[in-house]
Amino acid sequence: MVKVGFLSLAHMHAYSYGHALNQLPNAELVGVFDPDQKRGQAGAQQMNTKFFSDPGELLKQVDGVIICSENSLHRHFTELAASYGVHVLCEKPIATTIEDGQAMIDVCEKADVKLQIAFPVRFNTPMMRVKEMLERGAIGEVLAIRGTNHGQMPGGWFVDPELSGGGAVMDHTVHVVDLIRWFLGKEFISVYAEADNMLYDVPIDDCGMLSLEMEGGIFVTQDPSWSRPATYPTWGNVTLEIIGTEGVIDVDAFAQNFVVYDDQNRKVSQKTFTEDMDLGLIKDFIEMIEEDREPSITGYDGLKAMEVALGAYESARLKKTVQL
């Protein structure tokens, strides 16, 4: 039985991860620490587990932790977990600076603990099928990719530059960049980007557009904007159009759903009927600890995805292409 805890519930994905943990027969959710005691206690109750006011007491009792803090605190909590010899699943982005991301990788290597980054879209069924198609050459040589990751404006600490490290570009670019790196096994080499605040009254970017080049001359565009209104039936989307020499793949990660019209609550929503990608991510993390194997999504993967987002901000600031 793998014992797991949470360090912070600031990120909303924590609750889905907690639900996933409680479904797995080989995992035990020992408890939750959160510097925000009220949030931590409420979250622990919702997850049917214990709240710890001292992170050290929790870390003494677990094999792994899931870090769902504000982005700028990822390094702090990772270093704390590593000091107790505890394996880490860290919410994306890995950090807010290259220095912090590299420090997280280094401290985990030194402590001989595993660092995995939470990119659950790798466990999305349509995306797994696309990877298999590309590996067998279904569309020939990939020439270009168009990507989107639209979403609702999350508010809270996400729009505080000191805590988040960036707005929509940081929040949504890393998912698509990670997928494409995973699909192709190639790196991004340059980015030209524009980022702005045009949709909401928040002190951070809420929209952007990236034009990227990869090794081998593959061109990629990415729209990571918080452009979905609060009434939109789901939080957002992840789509890719992959153009090859022998065909095109169009994929929407969240197209497998029913539209639900709820007159009682006066709300339209979408309910997925595909596999739970968050459950897939958590199951993989637990199996990694059980099998003592390397993470399927490494700290280096997290670092390279964040590098593209940070390069996009530098490009937008300088108004020119930035080499990565």
Determine which of 106-110, 148-152, 161-165, 235-239 has the lowest per-residue pLDDT on average: 235-239
Cα atoms in the 13 Å half-sphere on the side-chain side of 98: 7
Which residues neighbour 265 within 8 Å (Cβ) at sequence distance 6 or greater? none
Contact criterion met (CB below 8 Å) for 134 and 212: no
Contact criterion met (CB below 8 Å) for 89 and 280: no
The tens digit of pLDDT for each residue in 55-104 reads 999 999 999 999 999 999 999 999 999 999 999 999 999 999 999 999 99
Radius of gyration of the chain (CA): 19
Calculate mean pLDDT across residues 222-232.
92
The tens digit of pLDDT for each residue in 233-270 reads 877 789 999 999 999 999 999 888 888 998 998 888 88
What is the model's pLDDT at position 234? 78
How are beta strands 2-7 and 64-67 bridged, if at all? parallel
Q: Who wins on pLDDT, 149 or 270?
A: 149
What is the model's pLDDT at position 47? 98
CATH 3.40.50.720 for domain 2-113: yes
> By C-alpha distance, which of 58, 57, 98, 56 is closest to 75?
98
Burial of 123 (0-12, 13-18, 19+ CB in 10 A): buried
Structural domain boundaries of the chain? Answer: 2-113, 122-275+306-323
The tens digit of pLDDT for each residue in 281-320 reads 999 999 999 999 999 999 999 999 999 999 999 999 999 9
Considering the chain, what is the average pLDDT of its residues?
96
Burial of 39 (0-12, 13-18, 19+ CB in 10 A): middle
Q: Which two tokens stand for residue 1?
A: 């039985």
What is the model's pLDDT at position 98? 98
Which residues neighbour 228 within 8 Å (Cβ) at sequence distance 6 or greater? 150, 151, 152, 234, 235, 236, 237
What's the pTM?
A: 0.96
Three-class SS state of 240? strand
227 — pLDDT class (breaks 50, 70, 90): very high
Q: Which two tokens stand for residue 229?
A: 């209104």
Pick the CATH number of 122-275+306-323 from 3.30.360.10, 1.10.10.10, 3.40.190.10, 3.30.300.30: 3.30.360.10
